[in-house]
Structure 1
């Protein structure tokens, strides 16, 4: 288990997703379900992702955040805002091409006190593999560097039986 958490809130027509600490793939099922429910809701005027308290974040989580942005652009015609004040995290976001799918800001995001933690979910190995594969395929679609970086992982995941 990681020492991180993901919280969310619906606040004045804004969906807020806040990641805190060391955020790893242990959250992938709950995060994916939250993303899909958010897109189905069709009631948000903006989406804010707050990474200002992230120490580290893995590529699976980043891929799922990119999925949220891509679906938001497709369904609502808007790019979410992603806030990061950690220089290391911001460097990763820039190198992954997140400036193409987010409005990146490097200041603290206003965040309501009414955030709730994402619920814990039992995750089968097959479900985790599916989320990891999807997240990395999304990252690969963002730029050539990501394609090179994650090609072997995606190939390995695709060739491993579920």
Structure 2
């Protein structure tokens, strides 16, 4: 397995995010920071997510991608394109309801972009916890199957966030 990394390219307001290797929670802080910057760019017009080199992707990362799609819809009123040529990854996306929030394609043709790597940021336990909770709440709202799958986890994460009451 390849350790995960995220690369990006931009041309005329169109961003391509390439998620490579094992895409896990450890990359989410960096990705979320990048997305905030991307959406604030005055010339932002569209975003494409390329999963053609993604080997595995965890639910927190999927939740962050769902959030990306929701924000893109609000900002530019369009669904982002998600490139997913690998059947195992596509199956996960479909089971999460991503066909409703992304335009999923198997192949985007030859892309000869110069990619830059998004630097991995360290994050503390509290911000990681908040990010995991937020990502799973987003996934829960995509469909009823997700709600059932993640409701216990979300409840547990919410309980862990509340300060303990001492008597």
- Paired with 2:102 and 2:112, the residues of 1 have a C-alpha distance of 21
Q: Tell me: CA distance 1:156–1:37, structure 2 relative to 1, closer, same or farther (3 Å).
A: same
* CA deviation map 1:96-116 (0-9, x unaligned): 000111011011455443211
| Partner SS for 1:142 | coil
TM-score (norm 2): 0.91
- Paired with 1:38 and 1:110, the residues of 2 have a C-alpha distance of 24
- Paired with 2:63 and 2:45, the residues of 1 have a C-alpha distance of 22
Partner of 2:114: 114
- Paired with 1:50 and 1:41, the residues of 2 have a C-alpha distance of 20
Which residues of structure 1 form unaligned runs of 5+?
none
The answer as to 2:161 corresponding to 1:142 is no
1:13, distance to aligned residue in structure 2 (A):
2.3
The answer as to 2:7 corresponding to 1:12 is no
* CA deviation map 1:5-33 (0-9, x unaligned): 11112123211100011111001111111
Runs (4 or more) in structure 1 with deviation over 6 Å come to none
TM-score (norm 1): 0.94
Contact 1:63 1:139 survives alignment (8 Å): yes
* The structure with more radius of gyration: 2
Which residues of structure 2 form unaligned runs of 5+?
163-167
Partner of 2:101: 101
Stretch of structure 1 that moved more, 112-121 or 20-29 = 112-121
In the comparison of the two structures, how many residue pairs are matched?
161
- Paired with 2:49 and 2:109, the residues of 1 have a C-alpha distance of 8
1:95, distance to aligned residue in structure 2 (A):
0.6
| Partner SS for 2:161 | coil
RMSD, aligned CA: 1.5
Partner of 1:157: 157
